[in-house]
Chains A and B, each alone.
Chain A
């Protein structure tokens, strides 16, 4: 089956810093999704990507669908305290179901 590797597992940054995280897969994907989970809540969709090379922004967040179709990146610019949470990537290829990475836990120090 499909497998995702999400890194880093956790990040501790200062408010105002930029953040970068990524996911890689063992097989080719045709969908990459990025979710954020606030403490005590369910994941919420941030960005959806469906085309290799696609670069999409949502406010201070930017995500890219890698050219090889085996990876995706999420960048957060000028982090603020409310960016705290767990960020999940999710990918899907062929006739497989959506699979989720293990998450990147982000802590922002004011």
Chain B
């Protein structure tokens, strides 16, 4: 039971470099999410995809883009990394957005440092 798999686990970038964080789930979930976690800030939603083919902005979308490649995969791209994007990034998935289907399952995270 893999659940939600994120790659890579760790990454160091230089300012201005680009990279894509990968996320895949094997639970046949419709909805997927990207969060960032900073000390004392909890989990802040970057983007989400309610269902295959749709994406929407969350609380902190600036500097990021996403792609819902298919039902299983949801990627997060940093086009030009900045030190302020140093964080731990979590991908999550759920059956849907409504009660009883809205339990989110998280990956183990990607720890990103931008120098």
Most chain A beta-carbon contacts within 10 A, residue among B35, B43, B108, B109:
B43
Task: Say how far B70's CB is from chain A's closest CB, in angstroms.
Answer: 22
B48 pairs with A41, CB closer than 8 A: no
Cross-chain contact of A33 among B42, B103, B109 (Cβ < 8 A): B103
Known A-B contacts A97-B45, A97-B97, A101-B42; A31 and B102 likewise in contact (beta carbons under 8 Å): yes
Most chain A beta-carbon contacts within 10 A, residue among B45, B58, B103, B105:
B103
Interface size of A by CB at 8 A reads: 22
Q: Restricting to B12-69, which residues have a CB under 8 Å from any CB of A?
A: 35, 40-43, 45, 48, 58
Residues of B within 8 A of A (CB): 4, 35, 40-43, 45, 48, 58, 90, 92, 94, 97, 99-100, 102-109
Residues of A within 8 A of B (CB): 6, 9, 30-31, 33, 40-45, 48, 50, 88, 90, 92, 97-98, 100-103
